Amino acid sequence: MNKIEETFENLHPSSKQLAKDARNVFPMGVTHVSRAMSPYPVYMVEGKGPKKWDVDGNEYIDYKTGHGSMILGQAHPAIVKAVKDQVEKGTHFSSGTNLEIRWAECVKNLVPSVEKMRFVSSGTEALMMAFKMARVFTGREKIVKFFGAFHGWSDTAYVTNDETDKNYGITKGTSESVINVTPYDLKNLETVLSKNDDVAAIIFQGNDIAPPEFVHGLKELSEKYSTLLVFDEVVSGFRWSKAGSQGHYGVIPDLSTFAKILAGGLPGGCVGGRAEIIDTIGEQGIRHPGTFNANPLSAASGSTALSIVAKEPIISTAHKQAERLRDGINRTLTELEIPGGAYGMSSIVMVSLGEPVDTSNPYAQPDTIEQGGRPVANAVLDHLHTAIINEGLWTHPASMILSSTHTDNDIDETVTRYRKGLQAVRKLGML
């Protein structure tokens, strides 16, 4: 056991026992694949603004922010009040509520491309419905997506067109209905569309760092080949701009999917877009139940959160703090003479370690990078992850998602702690 691991175990004895218990009831001992970590997961009990506390009383500056859903920070007073008030009235009425209409109006007011929508319970479900709608509306079957993009865990979203599909339990028929293409290559995409006249939709991951000309090219090709353009705004929605990634790029998709910020940190998602496409749900079309669709708690939380995003400088504040964090990490890497760089768009900070990054260009990123962190070895990132947790940073070292509650002091303290994490890994001779 090295010094980093020894410190971690000394700080987290209660989490160690909980991790042992969890392995008896959960595969891998966790309920979300990204929560698995070495030497074992940490268990949280409380959050407030940009801070969180674990079962052993350790305090962290939070940069996972509910997997990106907490742009208002943990336990925002207005969200707490809205949910508390609704719990006292009831959590499920097996009927519609005025809250779901208010929630939908908030979405429409922020995202011009959304004429109608359907609420679901997660981002994965929203993408599943978008795929269904595209197929029914166009009468076509195939979906085109880009290698490396993430669109939830449904079969269609996970197709890689190789032996991996079998490991995911994906049927051959589903695999054959999805075409993966190279990102940022419009010429290749057009070749695929010209050779396949049964493409229902092209799906774009809104939080991808894509050159503007590529995104505008997607719109042009979708119109040329009469296929639908779907923006996956699960992460980017109400974060990249009030209208999400599409607002940032100035592109109007046919369909958009939302989750995370949409429900103010509670479970919830939706697919919205052109009314005629959304109306494929109906008596003669797609049948769509869902016990917790637009449930009162999520509707109360979501409408409250989106109202705040609409009225207050939430997005711009988070953007500004992300820029401060990127600048601080880049100074640290330069001072420590570690190749790499912090980059990213909006209020998301990505960090590449091991090779230079053109941090002056917001759309530049190393070709070998997938979700940050490469090309250094996984062992380096694993030890750095543990080291910065020891320093009180709740984040992956290569990916940080900010809220509007992070202060200048939080950012500056984060840079200091990140530096200490890098130095701890360097002492192991790994960086």
Tell me the domains of the chain and their CATH numbers: 3-74+314-427 (3.90.1150.10), 77-311 (3.40.640.10)
Written as six digits, the tokens of 334 are 């330069």
Determine the 3-state secondary structure of 352 from DSSP.
Answer: strand
Residues contacting residue 289 through CB under 8 Å, at least 6 positions apart: none
What DSSP line would sit under 364-377, residue for residue?
A: ---TT-SSS-TTS-
The pairs formed by 274-281 with CB atoms below 8 angstroms and a separation of 24 or more are 274/113, 274/115, 274/116, 275/115, 275/116, 276/137, 277/133, 277/134, 277/137, 277/228, 278/115, 278/116, 278/117, 278/118, 278/133, 279/116, 280/132, 280/133, 280/136, 280/137, 281/118, 281/133
Written as six digits, the tokens of 52 are 């969180």
Tally Cβ neighbours within 10 Å of residue 288.
15
Instruction: Output the tens digit of pLDDT for each of the chain's 431 residues.
Output: 899 999 999 999 999 999 999 999 999 999 999 999 999 999 999 999 999 999 999 999 999 999 999 999 999 999 999 999 999 999 999 999 999 999 999 999 999 999 999 999 999 999 999 999 999 999 999 999 999 899 999 999 999 877 777 788 899 899 999 999 999 999 999 999 999 999 999 999 999 999 999 999 999 999 999 999 999 999 999 999 999 999 999 999 999 999 999 999 999 999 999 999 999 999 789 999 999 999 999 999 999 999 999 999 999 999 999 999 999 999 999 999 999 999 999 999 999 998 888 888 877 665 544 444 456 788 899 999 999 999 999 999 999 999 999 999 999 999 999 999 999 999 999 98
Task: Give pLDDT, residue 368.
Answer: 45
Distance CA 74, CA 374 (A): 30
Task: Give pLDDT, residue 334.
Answer: 96
DSSP state of 67: G
Residues contacting residue 170 through CB under 8 Å, at least 6 positions apart: 155, 158, 159
For 87, phi then psi, to 5°, come to -55, -40
Determine the straight-line distance between the first and last CA of the chain, rounded to whole angstroms. 18
Q: Are 317 and 286 in contact (CB under 8 A)?
A: no
Task: Give pLDDT, residue 369.
Answer: 43
pTM of the model: 0.95
Q: What is the pLDDT of residues 281-331, one digit of tens each?
A: 997 899 999 999 999 999 999 999 999 999 999 999 999 999 999 999 999
Task: Give pLDDT, residue 23.
Answer: 96
Written as six digits, the tokens of 197 are 């006249």
Task: Give pLDDT, residue 367.
Answer: 54
